Amino acid sequence: MNIIFVSPFGLGQKTTVWARTLPLARRLVERGCQVTVLIPPWDTPADSGRCWVDAGVRVENVSLAGGLPLVTARLLARVRALKPEIVHVVKPRAHAGIVQWILWQWRRLSGRGPRLILDVDDWEQAWSAIGGYSRLTARFLDWQERWGITHADGVTAASCWLLETVGAGRPQMPILYLPNGIAAPPTSLRADDRPTGTDPSLLLFSRFVEVEPAWMGEFWREIQRLRPGVRLVVAGKALQPHREDAFRQALAGDASPVQWVGYVDKAQLADLYAAATCAIFPAADVPLNQAKCSVRLATTLLNGVPVVASAVGEQAHYGGHGAAKLVPAGATPAAFAVAVGELLADPAARQDQIVTARWRLLDEYDWARLGDALFDFYRNPPTDPARTAEK
């Protein structure tokens, strides 16, 4: 099969292309497919016009010259030149969503064209209120998502929430549950060997939207009461600076310090993981969190960091069967703090979790397994929208 993935952005801080699209594309190449990833690298402008081959996958960054109309035209020209059997649109937004719209209309008018598959790994409408978009841009992106989901030949969905939401809108749409996978880290299994008596360190990866600042502030006060001396490391960058400012204010105080490290690139993650006693992934039970499939949670677990997480959306699946200590959705900050305190006080439980998480993730979320499910979906789209990669 000749397959093209069309991305809405590049290989920068947005994780979808390098953490989801490329691993799937590499596996498809191993299965004998010809795969090209087309990128409009507006977020990584240094890549404009650059092309390379990644494990057999051809990655093409089109030139940014001329702005949106010419960038979109270049993407379409490459699709026409490569003559794919399948165009897999990575998120129904921006350049990728426009390409999907034009290809659909062209096929409707001419009766010819590739099959159009749409990949959804987030609920874009949930981000509109916090993305800092103008009202017009937010309305356009919302329309792109609604239109894209209803004008595709099949959908791959990264979460059960997305699977159910898309299926409810188009019951006959072929849909594949395709969560984010993992690649085994090069290091050996970590032992939870922090010296007894060392002040515990909590690691929080955040975009400052998962819970409200007041919730986080209440949790922080309660865990300090339960475990005096506890430290908190906050990693991540807010979409809007005022969100991070609100979190900083909520976590301010004279007690245990909070370390703010900002966006952390992949080369620095090992040091963060090594220093953490456990990581926390609190999440409000809202569509924003129900829809997403956190690569960060999976990689944190795989790198041997014990985790306490809200049982919301895919976090409940990644952390299931003892891979993480799950706290019921909607739990209060105090209840979440109690769960964290229990894990901090139990080294044996932390070590058991490390072993369980690695075994479960490598068994159920291996990219080769997920890529094979996608290959089969391309060849034989299911008629049952409940079809998942696990069935």
pLDDT band at 42 (very low <50, low <70, confident <90, very high): very high
Which two three-digit tokens encode residue 110?
A: 């001419």
Give me the pLDDT at residue 387, please: 44
Rg (CA), the chain: 22
Handedness of CA 272, 274, 277, 282 (dihedral sign): positive
CA dihedral 162, 173, 1, 375 (to 10 degrees): 50
List the beta bridge partners of residue 51.
60
Average the pLDDT over 11-18 and give the result.
88
The answer to whether residue 391 scores a pLDDT higher than 50 is: no
The pTM assigned to this predicted structure is 0.91
Closest CA to 365 of 288, 307, 294, 283: 294
Whole-angstrom distance, CA of residue 244 vs CA of residue 213: 9
C-alpha span between 282 and 261 (Å, rounded): 19
Q: Which pLDDT tens digit goes with each residue over 307-352?
A: 999 999 999 999 999 999 999 999 999 999 999 999 999 999 999 9
What percent of the chain has a predicted confidence (pLDDT) above 90? Answer: 81
Give per-residue pLDDT as tens, 78-113: 999 999 999 999 999 999 999 999 999 999 999 999
Q: What is the DSSP annotation of 138-197?
A: HHHHHHHHHHHHHS-SEEEESSHHHHHHHHHH-TTS-EEE----B---SSPPPP--PPTT
- Assign a CATH topology to domain 2-181+366-379: Rossmann fold (3.40.50)
State yes or no: pLDDT of 212 exceeds 50: yes
Q: What is the pLDDT of residue 169?
A: 82
- How many Cβ atoms are within 10 Å of 369's Cβ, its own excluded? 15
Q: What CA–CA distance (Å, rounded) separates 340 from 337?
A: 5
Which residue from 28, 380, 314, 358 is spatially nearest to 182, judged by alpha carbons? 358
Structure tokens at 248: 């900083």
Closest-CA residue to 50 (of 40, 29, 144, 171):
40
The answer to whether 2-181+366-379 and 201-364 have equal CATH topology is yes
d(CA 203, CA 206) in angstroms, rounded, equals 10
Q: What is the torsional sign of CA 320, 322, 328, 333?
A: negative
135-173 pLDDT per residue, tens: 898 899 899 999 999 999 999 999 999 999 999 888 888
Q: Which of 74-78, 128-132, 218-222, 327-331 has the lowest mean pLDDT?
A: 128-132
Q: Is the Cβ–Cβ distance between 90 and 119 less than 8 Å?
A: yes
200-to-44, 156, 353 alpha-carbon distances in Å: 37, 40, 17
Is 201-364 a CATH 3.40.50.2000 domain? yes
Question: Hey, where are the domains in the chain?
Answer: 2-181+366-379, 201-364
**Euclidean distance between CA atoms 301 and 356, whole angstroms:** 10
Q: Where are the alpha helices (DSSP H) in the chain?
A: 16, 22-30, 67-82, 94-110, 124-127, 135-150, 160-169, 213-226, 241-251, 269-275, 287-291, 295-302, 314-318, 333-344, 347-364, 367-379
| Nearest to 294, CA basis, from 269, 312, 276, 306 | 312
Q: What are phi and psi of 68, to 5 degrees?
A: -55, -50
> Is the CB of residue 204 less than 8 Å from the CB of residue 232?
yes
